[in-house]
């Protein structure tokens, strides 16, 4: 799951970044609407966390700019302006949710889960393939009811593959799902995460296969 954080206050941004990273999310941090619009055009985000008071204006102005470009990504507006009128204007502008600072991280996570469950976010709440069940809401993998313990990047790879089940997923798409633009990517790192994931799924008896498609990417399907 890849999140864009649009926030100009350094302390707030750093705290959110590390908290979200601990919850297995990839976070790209930008400080202006201009940079946010550019990043949204280049990468696929699962959600955007948007501050309102930004150096280049009221963050709400970003929403129509994104929607005009056909970007339906869920947006949660984060702001110190928490009164009712501001809340209503935020939602009217096309925000999916609104959270007044200061907020508890648990609440932000719950709201992220909620917007991601809506139809405009992820298409399916559960993937079932072979004996594997992937729960998109809680971001957990199960085989025959048993949780498969996955490390952060393994989970991110599986989540990206699960969302595109039965289709070849480009390396670049997987890398975008696993690394933020501040991460350094070593050339074989993705393959390492895939092979660890494959091993764990196989040991759990998931009956799914992750095939490398040479020079293109990976395909996850039911074991034949
Ligand atoms: Ca601000």
Write the pLDDT tens digit of every residue in 164-214. 888 899 998 899 889 988 888 777 899 999 999 999 999 999 999 999 998
DSSP string of 35-49? HHHHHHHHS--SEEE
Determine the average pLDDT of the residues in 142-165. Answer: 92
Query: Cβ neighbours of residue 110 under 8 Å, at least 6 residues apart?
Result: none
Give the model's pLDDT for residue 119: 53
CA of 163 to the centre of ligand 1 (A): 33
CA 58 to ligand 1 center in whole angstroms: 9
Q: How far is the CA of 4 from the centre of ligand 1 (A)?
A: 15
What integer pLDDT is reported at residue 120 of this predicted model? 45
Domain end call among 64, 89, 117: 117
Same domain, 91 and 141: no
pLDDT band of residue 82 (cuts 50, 70, 90) is: low
Which of 117, 135, 154 terminates a domain? The answer is: 117
Contact (CB, 8 A) for 60 and 52: yes
The pLDDT-based confidence of 139 (bands split at 50, 70, 90) is confident
What is residue 98's predicted lDDT score, i.e. its pLDDT?
A: 86
Q: How far is the CA of 215 from the centre of ligand 1 (A)?
A: 43
Domain end: 48, 83, 117, which one?
Answer: 117
Whether residues 147 and 203 share a domain: the answer is yes
Are residues 13 and 57 both part of a single domain?
A: yes
pLDDT number for residue 123: 45
Give the residue with greater pLDDT, 80 vs 173: 173
Helix (H, G, I), strand (E, B) or coil at 217: strand
Helix residue ranges, H only, 118-206: 152-163, 171-178, 189-204
CB 193 within 8 A of CB 186: no
Query: 17 C-alpha to center of ligand 1: Å?
Result: 15
Q: What is the Cα–Cα distance from 211 to 197, expressed in whole angstroms?
A: 12
The yes-or-no verdict on residue 122 having pLDDT over 50 is no
CA–centroid distance, residue 8 to ligand 1 (Å): 5
Domain CATH code at residue 134: 1.10.10.10
pTM beyond 0.85, yes or no: no
Q: Are residues 6 and 112 in the same domain?
A: yes
Residues 103 and 162 in one domain: no
Same domain, 16 and 89: yes
Cα of 111 vs centre of ligand 1, distance in Å, is 20
Ligand 1 centroid to Cα of residue 146, in Å, is: 43
**Ligand 1 centroid distance, CA of 32 (Å):** 9
Residues 108, 15, single domain; the answer is yes
Expressed in angstroms and rounded, the spacing between residue 159 Cα and the centre of ligand 1 is 31
Residues 110 and 143 in one domain: no
How far, in Å, CA of 107 to CA of 109, rounded? Answer: 5
Q: What is the CATH classification number for the domain harbouring 67?
A: 3.40.50.2300
User: Please, what is the angle between helix 152-163 and helix 189-204, to 10°?
Assistant: 80
CB atoms within 5 A of ion ligand 1 belong to 8, 51, 53
Same domain for 13 and 106? Answer: yes
CB atoms < 10 A from the CB of 127, how many? Answer: 21
Q: How far is CA 208 from the centre of its chain?
A: 23
Number of domains in the chain: 2
Domain hosting residue 38, numbered range = 2-117
């Amino acid at each position: 799951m890849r999140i864009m954080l649009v926030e100009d206050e350094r302390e707030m941004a750093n705290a959110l970044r590390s908290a979200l990273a601990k919850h297995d999310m990839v976070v790209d941090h930008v400080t202006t609407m201009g940079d946010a619009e550019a990043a949204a055009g280049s990468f696929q985000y699962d959600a955007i966390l948007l501050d309102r008071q930004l150096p280049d204006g009221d963050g709400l102005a970003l929403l129509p700019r994104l929607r005009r470009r056909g970007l339906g990504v869920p947006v949660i507006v984060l702001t110190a302006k928490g009164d009712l009128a501001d809340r209503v204007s935020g939602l009217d502008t096309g925000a999916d949710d609104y959270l007044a600072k200061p907020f508890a991280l648990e609440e932000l996570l719950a709201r992220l889960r909620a917007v991601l469950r809506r139809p405009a976010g992820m298409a399916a709440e559960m993937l079932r393939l072979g004996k594997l069940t992937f729960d998109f809401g809680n971001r957990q993998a199960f085989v025959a009811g048993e949780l498969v313990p996955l490390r952060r990047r393994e989970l991110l790879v599986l989540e990206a593959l699960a969302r595109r089940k039965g289709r070849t997923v480009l390396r670049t798409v997987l890398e975008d799902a696993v690394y933020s633009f501040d991460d350094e990517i070593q050339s074989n790192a993705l393959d390492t995460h895939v092979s660890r994931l494959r091993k764990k799924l196989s040991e759990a008896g998931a009956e799914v296969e992750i095939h490398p498609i040479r020079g293109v990417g990976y395909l996850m399907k039911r074991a034949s």
